[in-house]
Amino acid sequence: MTSSPTKSPLDLAETTESIISEGKKSRRSGLGSRETLTRILTGLVLGGIVILCLAISKIATVVLIAVMLGVASTELFQSLFKVGWQPPTLVGLVASIGMPLAAYWKGEGAIGLILFLTFLTGALWYLLGIGGPRPVPNLAVLTLGVVYVGVLGSHAVLLLDDPKGKGLLLAAILLAAGYDIGGYFIGQALGRSPLTEVSPNKTIEGLLGGTLATVGVGVLLAVFDVGPFDGDPFGFSNALLLGIVVAVIAPIGDLAESLIKRDLKIKDMGTVLPGHGGVLDRCDTLLFVIPTVHYMVLVMA
């Protein structure tokens, strides 16, 4: 392999039309459709698993994070392989799974160490003749995969290190879920104006619905003294600020994955989660929201 495969203009036009058609079909599926019901049930099961792990112990939550990042990383590298890229996938998988475990063991500094070892091992992979041709773009793809999934996802473990870590992680999940749920249902009910060609099934109305829902979740967290804002005299203002910032960041995370999928000419990264696609499809917003919450907590401390 010398580069990612090129397609004729006709192939690209057909692929683009297929993606746009799929987006229109998705908006027509309706709130009462079987797909929507499946999506809700899958979300409830996932939420139950997360809450159960949070209730059991910190290590149970860390293991869950590592498993989810491993699956998400597998989905991403498989998708990259399908279009012709050949990064050292084994290196990427080990790094993405190892980062949250290393962060739990040694803290934030371990993430940088794993990232350095990833690039070092990737370079050796090609120097020893194990990898194929074109080491520069494939090492770049490896780094993208590990940073996108491993580094961003490992911030969930860093949140757990805070005295109110479980509440912070739960708040991040609820804020991300608020954006996704608000965007999905408002988009289904009122969506008329396409947001961007990068993701044809998303609408401006859905974006506004997700934004308002995210801010609303932040307010509710403070009003009901949920999670990290319990007993905090400045809880309402902090929760509102966090909700506003996350409302800005969440769509970027959502569209960033759409940008990658658009470039790879695929609709979903995987099929493991009925109604959602893959784990990476489900966690695209969360991968940006969790680091945002982590650094907002540091700034507001």
The domain ranges of the chain are: 33-300
The whole-number pLDDT of residue 12 equals 46
Confidence band of 239 (pLDDT split at 50, 70, 90): confident
Please report the pLDDT score of residue 140 as a whole number: 94
Which residue type sits at 169?
Answer: L
Lookup: tokens for 52: 């159960």
Q: Which residues contact 103 (CB under 8 A, 6 or more apart)?
A: 110, 111, 154, 157, 158
pLDDT tens-digit map of 158-212: 999 988 888 889 989 999 999 999 988 888 888 788 888 777 788 898 999 999 9
**Mean pLDDT value across residues 92-103:** 96
Q: Helix 152-160 and helix 89-106: axis angle, to 10°?
A: 20
Buried b (16+ CB within 10 A) or exposed e, 97-115: bbbbbbbbeeeeebbeebb
Mean pLDDT over residues 87-92, rounded? Answer: 93
pLDDT at res. 32: 60
Report helix, strand or coil for 203.
strand
Average pLDDT over residues 82-111: 93
Q: Pairing mode, if any, of strands 199-203 and 194-196? A: antiparallel
pLDDT over 80 at 301, yes or no = no
* pLDDT range class, residue 1, cuts 50, 70, 90: very low
If we measure between CA atoms, which residue out of 3, 287, 285, 7 comes closest to residue 140? 3
Quick one: average pLDDT of 217-223? Answer: 83
DSSP labels, 57-84: -HHHHHHHHHHHHHHHHHHHHHHHHHTT
Residue 229 has pLDDT above 80, yes or no: no
Contact 251, 207 (CB under 8 A): yes
Determine the pLDDT at residue 268.
87
Amino acid at 232: D
- Amino acid (one-letter) located at 31: L
Q: What is the pLDDT of residues 244-265, one digit of tens each?
A: 999 999 999 999 999 999 999 8
Decide which of 9 and 248 is more confident.
Answer: 248
Residue 200 three-state SS: strand
| Contact between residue 210 and residue 182 where contact means Cβ atoms under 8 Å apart | yes
Helix (H/G/I), strand (E/B), else coil: 272: coil
Residue % of the chain over a pLDDT of 70:
85
CA–CA distance from 10 to each of 53, 83, 99 (Å)? 49, 17, 42
Burial of 75 (0-12, 13-18, 19+ CB in 10 A): buried
Question: In this predicted structure, what is the pLDDT of residue 20?
Answer: 47
* CB neighbours of residue 282 within 10 Å: 23
Copy the structure tokens of residue 71.
């699956």
> Which has more pLDDT, 251 or 14?
251
pLDDT, tens digit (0-9, with 9 covering 90-100), for 114-134: 999 999 999 999 998 887 788
